[in-house]
Amino acid sequence: MAEHPSPEEAARALRDVDHRRDQALGALHGARWVDVMFALVVFLYLASTDFLPGAAGWKGLVLAGLVLAYVLVLRTRRGATWLGHSVRVDKSAIRPRVALGVGLVFVVVCVAAAVAVALLHVRIPYGNTILGAVLAIAPIGFGRHLRRGLAALIRRSRAGGASNGHA
């Protein structure tokens, strides 16, 4: 092989790299059963407030244990594959400006929700159960769409604003 490739070989190599990255981003998905289990945990956590008021002392510890176990399993190659994450997103593929924007939106939504809860002292019967059901529907119905959106966001961020690689 020559030390300096021809322009055609270099262009073909770059197209192959982009094609492989797109394939990896296309494989960015989780197992459906993980979405269902996550939804079930969220629903049970919130519904336990309405139906098991005595569980308030230990339900946070159970949730923390489940989250810790999930994160630890996800950190291993075999565990990530078992959970349906055969590839990982390269965090350097996301522009810092995009990550900052997403983080700010998340903070604004959380602050708005906290302010709404603090200002509205309305007690809805079985409100936590209703909220748990609504929040459980989100990952079941939209989990795959959210992950595809993340992959599209990474593609656009990497391509400089356009999904086809042209600015």
Q: What was the pLDDT predicted at 5?
A: 81
Q: What was the pLDDT predicted at 55?
A: 79
Q: What was the pLDDT predicted at 125?
A: 82
Q: What was the pLDDT predicted at 80?
A: 81
> In angstroms, rounded to a whole number, what is the distance separating the alpha carbons of residues 112 and 19?
41
Q: Determine if the pTM surpasses 0.75.
A: no
Residues of the chain with pLDDT under 50: 161-167
Match 């291993």 to its residue by tokens: 76
Structure tokens at 55: 């569980």
Whether 32 contacts 141, CB under 8 Å: no
| Torsion, CA 68, CA 69, CA 72, CA 74, rounded to 10 | -110
> In angstroms, rounded to a whole number, what is the distance separating the alpha carbons of residues 70 and 79?
9
Residues 6 or more apart whose CB falls under 8 angstroms from that of 159 comprise 165, 166, 167
Residues 6 or more apart whose CB falls under 8 angstroms from that of 154 comprise 25, 89, 93, 94
Whether 80 contacts 62, CB under 8 Å: no
